[in-house]
Structure 1
């Protein structure tokens, strides 16, 4: 059994952290979170919110302490709420369809990890998303920061 965790920036629909592992532990999801934190370098001024389901890994002391250290507020969905993690479940469904089910059977964790790396890169830089104006997550971010820079220069 292989597990994959994703950390997604909802604003741009960009996958900013991910991890593949053979067990569903706190360390597994913490690695994905740390990758996202390192990539984004958030500060307390960013007012970030981390939303997750009620999985024990996401509610663990180590995980919640790491979120607090990074100045990220936590949000956990209510039990039985079908809309709780719709965005994440949608991305995981795409990943399973486009990678796991399409390219398998798998011979090693390393093979899953390599294909996940390739898929995340494609997802972030080539896949168009209707929710962000039919552009890629990378393009959505670049446009946002270009607009922000132009606004700051005009001010």
Structure 2
């Protein structure tokens, strides 16, 4: 999170996601990265890093928010549930802390009916544990 959407900020988030995926799965990510057509995601830095350096695939939403309803639904719910906490933050650093804590709760503490009333962390661990027994060794790379 930052004061404005830049390629540098987006790439920092991507680097953090790659580190987490590597730590959790033991493999570099191989993904289809879907996003809107904001300037950060159209930049040479972003596209070059994902496509040329990291070997990922990119997808752009041609329909704006309607092009990615799952993520739009998450953000709508996340902002609605936490609105008052976000508005109470006095600085960008304080807001980052509130968001980090709420994301951590979402993944590690909040039960999700779509996951059989488990946390996403529990569901991920179960999926990774189940995938290690398969011939493919789990996540595709």
**TM norm structure 1:** 0.73
Residue in 2 aligned with 1:102?
84
- How many residue pairs get aligned? The number is 129
Q: Is the 8 A contact 1:37 1:70 kept in 2?
A: no
1:78 aligns with 2:62: yes
Q: Kindly report which structure 2 residues correspond to 1:49-128, keeping only aligned pairs within 5 A, or say none.
A: 49-68=32-51, 69-80=53-64, 82=66, 84-99=67-82, 101-103=83-85, 104-128=87-111
Structure 1 residue 37: deviation in Å?
Answer: 1.1
Where does the alignment leave 5 or more consecutive residues of structure 1 unmatched? Answer: 1-19
The CA deviation string for residues 76-126 of structure 1, in whole angstroms up to 9 with x for no partner, is 1223572x1212112211221222x22123310011011011011111112
1:130 aligns with 2:113: yes
The structure with the largest helix share of the pair is 2
Q: Indicate which of 31, 38, 55 corresponds to 2:12.
A: 31
Q: Distance in 1 between matches of 2:40 and 2:113?
A: 31
| 67 and 111 in structure 1: CA distance in 2 versus 1, 3 angstrom threshold | same
Report the aligned-residue RMSD.
2.0
Structure 1 residue 23: deviation in Å?
Answer: 1.1
**TM norm structure 2:** 0.79
